Structure 1
């Protein structure tokens, strides 16, 4: 093979220029020609090259030259198209359009009966032209002289003995018997009397007989000899009568190919098929009237899937696309385009169909848009991600807001088809924006389909806003008045349950599901129970893995704070009821106050304000080093001073701290005035801007008892009242003197106060008689208290 190519190249270099490159050899065993695949150097297009070696086939050289001459001069759509020819003393080359031997398909029986009829119809038209218009005889009509083009059309070749009957010395008379396998295909009259008998019989008789043998060969695979002529095996029933007339042994009684063609084209004839009608009318599709176009579309609908793929790709498809874009072909034509496109290779689809699809998405025709959306699943895999995201989707979004509901609905459904081709930015931005609009559409079916769509594209959303979007959309759909919209929301929630965190499920999803449990529709109630069970199982599983408590273990508590008052925390050994542990906690607070009091440093923050229903003691300054605080009893100390700030109490204050505690309490509990036992401290007290407390309201400063101010007010009411004892005089800052502290002097009637040095010494708790002692001085205590 390589040697032959080098020899051909050498011969070409010595002869006229031949601007074609030889490719692989195509096996042709019944021709004087050797067929090669070729490439035209000028544009790289494919072609075929028929090569004749003069030295090897010199007796048949006149036949080769006759074929070159007839191919160059005989022009017809059914004849192989010649591109160029070269003839030298050693070779003859004919460059033609790319063709393939028909024998390949016939041997493999790869063509349907409708395609075979279509091919025979094309050949009959060509032979009729040769016989009638060209007044010639082909003389070598058989499967071996037929080829198929890139478009699948049958082309007539084998013009080695094609002769005009006007020539007295036509080549067919002398070389007809030299055609390969001539003995099998020669008509009976020529086999008996020689090829000169052509002159004595009708001109079309030879080609009519050979066309009859061609019919048998096409439907049966091979013609072995004259004994098979007239047999109807595998030939369509409607063709039997006309076929037998073609192979009549009497040449004068034979039907011509033109007659055969006419009988086949009659209404209901064997050539009256949708495929043949389509091929006859496709060239002027844009010029047809409305009625003719409708008939054409009906023929398209009747086409089966076994149509000749190559012909539709090369011939029908371009014409159909033109009709859809510019000729008003409409959705019906586009459906056939999609049917043909399924059998295109990816490169062919990108070249022929993709540009038209992109242009059609910009068309304002709603029927075309709906047809495009319906057929999108057939072509989406052929479209690149960039093309869909940058060109098709921006045109497609106009359907979300179209006034026609069918366009909006089909657009929503098409999202599932293109979602894999969209970028994350497009999905989380523009797509969700439009789906938010269709979720509020006036059509309940569109709202329902939007919910279903969101459920199916949930995994394509961004992780950051997926849960937020889905919960907002589905919980809103749960309140939709359309029963199927609510049911779709429940199913979508169940299908996307793994997209939600446990906190979202407990706080947002489950509360929204509860109303559906008592929905008026049983369909919704049943689905709500299923969805609720699904989420509850997940919550229970999550809760089982949580710790029993978030409080730190007992061993981690500071020993110095072990005796701090508990903040209403139930103890295991206490009563199980809520009243039991609440009262126990309160009593523990009282008893745990026993011991020495700890004064607060000067720079320490003010104590937390307490409820006015619990009088607070006076707040003393820090004593000097070496001094101590003396008290009559622990209970009295607890009554007149706040408990020391401990770690536990600080934590408790932080836990209950609320900047709006006062307003919240007022709203929740009403006008309870000073009955605010459950008030929690909110913040440190600020300098009071209120007026001095009066006798009617002896507790100023937000409920802290102001004993000094109250006593001073009482004393001033009486004329000639004596000044208060030095220890009870009210300092300017509202605190006692730093070096002294007012303590009880002991005794049952002790009502005075004295300075006690701040010396640390143990104090024995004594029982205090709270009855005031009559000292002879009317200081107003009795009246006021």
Structure 2
């Protein structure tokens, strides 16, 4: 029957006329009230509802009505906050803030000593207010009358017999014994003389005894009866003396709640704890100066992890947020905020902290910015990608160019925390641009950290730009004057090898590593050798999979060409293998050279030679080429076949002869060119070799009887060529003075004998610098 009445009352409470919707029932032990979790209809916030069924507890109806009336009028931070009360013919309702019975924590023994002291301090302060300020007696102080709020703070309830001593007909005198389980908790003087004895003893004596019982229950879990009152089992040593005086049988010498507070708050007293001091100072944090605020934060840092998290979420955090945003709390307050934020759920974090963090990133205070960047790893997991990419990172970018080096350095370090929440466009656009600036920063540490940062975010870079950016950045780092920057560049190259192709490794990265192998610092040399080994191993592994040759296989119809022999077993010098290799190529030449368009049909006459040059026999010229056969290697200097000079004939002039030597301009001196151009020796030998190597289709060369060369004919040919083509500027003869007939009668040019260039065959001194390395400077 009682169950049916309770169900009907619950159904009525769920009607639209009530401002709340009842939820699950909460066990609060032996009580005349039933506790339910509930939600407010107007905003959906959580609340609790105490219900009293009139039909099942009609004899205790005066106690329930007294509780409703006192709940409306009594206001104190240590008292349950009442939102609304409803009285009907069948039920009474008290809607309060969301609370949980303290007995839950007591039975689970989940209260730490510091938290227990903090709660006892709150209840003692509330009793002091009731006894002294309100001139009232609670009359039922015990664990079942205490609740904890959402913030973890202790709240005093159970106002069934709360009475003002100024009232002659106070309910405590008449109905005090109707409180559930009153015999177990009643003080000795009340047991002897009844509740009227309250008038004859100190006003706070009854509540002081109840406070002592509450302390015993908190540290021991259960109170069996009056025999356990005053026992110090599990009671903190610093509190035992005062606790005994609370439980003394004589009410006249019993310690009141007010005096109990005073003893605990003395220097070194049991109420001198960081948590209690924090509770007293938190509401006035915005009014404190910088020194007091710093002292407050230091105490906050001393709190251990077993303190009530809900208190920090609901009470401390809002005050800290107001202080740092509007009261100039500074970096230390922000650090405390973020530490508390790690205990918030994602929904709580987004609703309480995220808006404030976004606003703080726009604050120009450098100390605050550095603190935000330092603690970014603690908060980034709770921030959405959209918030980080669209609101936080754009504010962070000012740190890359800040004049303070500490801000630039912390901004570079913070990239590792936010890169996972940035879009590809932001990473490969704005981020790389700013990192390019810090890679050239004047501070060596910032350059080093930029290299490390690039190495760690390599996987986040776009594939199109990743290898180019990393190779350029790390190669530059290996040339940095700061030793740790060079080491960081080498480490980054070794860590990001997977992002480079084999061609990049061989052609771009190894040339950057090799110079550092001889670094002046052993730290860098060792790391360079390690990195080099990593890249060489990869290149060798890849090269082992390559084909032996990229040339197509020769056809069976053609004879395989002779393989060029590099050097001989007898000649080990560098000149020996070069000459031997080229000689083999000349000896292996076969077939005919296609005639050129200009000189294919012209007869090639045997060029004249100086008397000092011996005649070359046909047999010798065809079987074994002389030393000047090295001259054709000029084609190896990069000229194409179309750029190679044509064969020299008797009709070619000096300018064509000079073109042959242009290919050697990198080796021979400028002053030797004119002498070489006037020397017919080389041209004659070159023509002989060409005529012996290739059959000519031109007219036969007249037989040479082996006599002296026809210098007159050669000079006449030269004069004829010069007459057809003007001399270069500066070599023309002056025309200001006309020639006389007597001077023009002789047309025979004067023969000029040009001595052959003497070649110094003496070997150079080995210690002499021949300038081979100048081109790499």
Structures share a fold, TM > 0.5?
yes
Q: 1:157 to 1:475 in 2, by over 3 A?
A: same
CA contact (8 A) 2:358 2:391 kept: yes
CA contact (8 A) 2:265 2:272 kept: yes
Note if 1:618 corresponds to 2:601. Answer: yes
CA contact (8 A) 2:602 2:698 kept: no
Q: 1:217-228 maps to which residues of 2 (within 5 A)?
A: 217-228=217-228
Q: 1:757-772 maps to which residues of 2 (within 5 A)?
A: none
Structure 2 residue aligned with 1:68: 68
Structure 2 residue aligned with 1:471: 471
Q: Point out the more displaced range, 2-11 or 530-539.
A: 2-11
Structure 2 residue runs without a partner (length 5+): 572-576, 604-617, 623-629, 661-696, 719-777
Measure how far apart 1:9 and its partner are.
Answer: 5.3
Measure how far apart 1:217 and its partner are.
Answer: 0.8
Measure how far apart 1:130 and its partner are.
Answer: 0.9
CA contact (8 A) 1:695 1:784 kept: no
Q: 1:535 to 1:676 in 2, by over 3 A?
A: closer
Structure 1 residue aligned with 2:487: 487
Structure 2 residue aligned with 1:545: 545
Q: 1:700 to 1:414 in 2, by over 3 A?
A: closer
Measure how far apart 1:382 and its partner are.
Answer: 0.7
Structure 2 residue aligned with 1:125: 125
CA contact (8 A) 1:693 1:699 kept: no
Give, in whole Å, the separation in 2 of the partners of 1:468 and 1:356: 39
Measure how far apart 1:84 and its partner are.
Answer: 1.5
User: What CA deviation, in whole Å up to 9, does each residue of 1:131-169 have, x standing for no partner?
Assistant: 111111111111101111111111111011111112222
Q: Secondary structure at the match of 1:268?
A: coil
Measure how far apart 1:17 and its partner are.
Answer: 3.0
Give, in whole Å, the separation in 2 of the partners of 1:195 and 1:581: 126
Measure how far apart 1:398 and its partner are.
Answer: 1.3
Q: 1:567-578 maps to which residues of 2 (within 5 A)?
A: 570=564, 577-578=577-578
Q: 1:672-711 maps to which residues of 2 (within 5 A)?
A: 676=634, 678=636, 682=640, 684=642, 696=653
Q: 1:492 to 1:4 in 2, by over 3 A?
A: farther
User: What CA deviation, in whole Å up to 9, does each residue of 1:682-723 have, x standing for no partner?
Assistant: 36589x9xxx996755979988xxxxxxxxxxxxxxxxxxxx
Note if 1:7 corresponds to 2:1. Answer: no
Measure how far apart 1:617 and its partner are.
Answer: 4.0
CA contact (8 A) 1:569 1:581 kept: no
Give, in whole Å, the separation in 1 of the partners of 2:291 and 2:635: 93
Q: Secondary structure at the match of 2:24?
A: strand
Q: 1:243-258 maps to which residues of 2 (within 5 A)?
A: 243-258=243-258
Give, in whole Å, the separation in 1 of the partners of 2:549 and 2:66: 105
Structure 1 residue aligned with 2:591: 592
Give, in whole Å, the separation in 2 of the partners of 1:380 and 1:251: 59
Give, in whole Å, the separation in 2 of the partners of 1:308 and 1:677: 88
Give, in whole Å, the separation in 1 of the partners of 2:300 and 2:327: 16
Measure how far apart 1:782 and its partner are.
Answer: 11
Structure 1 residue runs without a partner (length 5+): 600-605, 610-615, 621-634, 640-671, 704-740, 745-749, 752-768, 774-778
Q: 1:293 to 1:514 in 2, by over 3 A?
A: same
Measure how far apart 1:297 and its partner are.
Answer: 2.3
Structure 2 residue aligned with 1:363: 363
Give, in whole Å, the separation in 2 of the partners of 1:271 and 1:227: 27
Give, in whole Å, the separation in 2 of the partners of 1:495 and 1:105: 52
Q: 1:699 to 1:308 in 2, by over 3 A?
A: closer
Q: 1:9 to 1:251 in 2, by over 3 A?
A: closer
Measure how far apart 1:569 and its partner are.
Answer: 6.0
Give, in whole Å, the separation in 2 of the partners of 1:679 and 1:25: 97
Structure 2 residue aligned with 1:302: 302
Measure how far apart 1:396 and its partner are.
Answer: 1.0
Q: 1:573 to 1:52 in 2, by over 3 A?
A: same
TM-score, normalized by length of structure 2?
0.77
Q: Point out the more displaced range, 195-204 or 247-256.
A: 195-204
Q: Secondary structure at the match of 1:377?
A: helix
Q: Secondary structure at the match of 1:554?
A: coil
Q: 1:480 to 1:181 in 2, by over 3 A?
A: same
Q: 1:181 to 1:218 in 2, by over 3 A?
A: same
Give, in whole Å, the separation in 2 of the partners of 1:588 and 1:101: 107
Q: Secondary structure at the match of 1:25?
A: strand
Measure how far apart 1:588 and its partner are.
Answer: 3.0
Give, in whole Å, the separation in 2 of the partners of 1:320 and 1:282: 8
Measure how far apart 1:372 and its partner are.
Answer: 0.9
Q: 1:210-289 maps to which residues of 2 (within 5 A)?
A: 210-289=210-289
Q: 1:55 to 1:488 in 2, by over 3 A?
A: same
CA contact (8 A) 2:650 2:714 kept: no
Give, in whole Å, the separation in 2 of the partners of 1:47 and 1:281: 27
Q: 1:40-119 maps to which residues of 2 (within 5 A)?
A: 40-119=40-119
Measure how far apart 1:780 and its partner are.
Answer: 6.5
Q: 1:618 to 1:312 in 2, by over 3 A?
A: same
Measure how far apart 1:62 and its partner are.
Answer: 0.8
Give, in whole Å, the separation in 2 of the partners of 1:66 and 1:187: 22
Give, in whole Å, the separation in 1 of the partners of 2:197 and 2:73: 26
Structure 2 residue aligned with 1:381: 381
Give, in whole Å, the separation in 2 of the partners of 1:262 and 1:87: 41
CA contact (8 A) 1:51 1:94 kept: yes
Q: 1:598 to 1:592 in 2, by over 3 A?
A: closer
Measure how far apart 1:115 and its partner are.
Answer: 1.0
CA contact (8 A) 1:412 1:453 kept: yes
Measure how far apart 1:92 and its partner are.
Answer: 1.0
User: What CA deviation, in whole Å up to 9, does each residue of 1:323-376 have, x standing for no partner?
Assistant: 111111111111111221111111111111111111111111111111111111
Give, in whole Å, the separation in 2 of the partners of 1:2 and 1:105: 28
CA RMSD in angstroms, aligned pairs only: 3.3
CA contact (8 A) 2:31 2:180 kept: yes
CA contact (8 A) 1:99 1:150 kept: yes
Note if 1:174 corresponds to 2:157. Answer: no
CA contact (8 A) 1:5 1:22 kept: no
Structure 2 residue aligned with 1:759: none
CA contact (8 A) 2:566 2:578 kept: no
Give, in whole Å, the separation in 2 of the partners of 1:682 and 1:250: 122
CA contact (8 A) 1:349 1:382 kept: yes
Measure how far apart 1:536 and its partner are.
Answer: 0.9
Structure 2 residue aligned with 1:713: none
Structure 2 residue aligned with 1:207: 207
